[in-house]
Amino acid sequence: MTVNYQKSGNPFGNEGLYLPVTIDSEVYDGTFNAGGFAMTSEPLGEFFAFCIEVTQALRNGATYESVSNPFTDAVLANIEGLFNSAYDNVTDKVTSAAFQVAMWEIVEDTATGFDLSAGAFSAIDASTFSGSVIDTAQGFLDGLATAPTGLFEVNYLLSPTSQDLVTAQRVTPPAAVPVPASGLLLLSAGVFLASRRRNTKPVS
């Protein structure tokens, strides 16, 4: 599929939900904008995505392939847990940047436990914006242990020429299964018979 920015020349869209963050990892060091991307494609429509590859730039109009399992089972479970427990809290610049930082920690630092101040991946808040991106991200990571399940379906988009992405769609609760007509007839008969038994007095 071809994936484009929703807003020409700006991957963060009109909302601009990002903040600068300085990261130190085994594959990349530096300061750049962290937050959700406002993207669009023909099969997916408009969607919100996050980076899962810090070494490659995001390119408008790149070709992507949708895959289900680009990481180990443990990493996949933690990414799903992050969406299930924290994605609904992404409402502004701080929480969007924090969600991205937490995503990088999960992908880049696969050691037991997550600590943004140490390990294979670390980060510091590089903005003067009110609120702490790193404290919020650490809170998201700490919540993985009690994350609910089954709220979102996660989709991974990989490209050889552009930054790999992850997005998710909320799972619609299954509709109530209708009882077949034959089942309704049996149920009615059962209720009728039970009623007859309760109302019938024993013969003396």
The residues, any chain, with a CB within 8 Å of residue 204's CB and separated by 6 or more, are none
Helix axes 73-86, 133-142, angle to 10 degrees: 110
Residue 196 confidence (pLDDT) = 40
Average pLDDT, the chain: 87
pLDDT tens digits for range 5-34: 999 999 999 999 999 999 999 888 999 999
> Cα separation of 133 and 129, whole Å?
9
Domain edges within the chain: 2-170
Give the DSSP H/E element, type plus range, for residue 4: strand 2-5
pLDDT tens digits for range 29-88: 999 999 999 999 999 999 999 999 999 999 999 999 999 999 999 999 999 999 999 999
Q: Is the pTM of this model over 0.85?
A: no
Contact 22, 31 (CB under 8 A): yes
What is the mean predicted confidence (pLDDT) over 142-164? Answer: 97
Residue 201 confidence (pLDDT) = 45
Residue 180 confidence (pLDDT) = 55
| β-pair type (65-67, 62-63) | unpaired
What is the mean predicted confidence (pLDDT) over 174-182? Answer: 52
pLDDT above 50 for 107: yes
Phi, psi values for residue 196, rounded to 5°: -60, -40
CA of residue 187 relative to chain centroid, distance: 43
Flag the least confident range among 83-87, 152-156, 199-203.
199-203
The residues, any chain, with a CB within 8 Å of residue 142's CB and separated by 6 or more, are 114
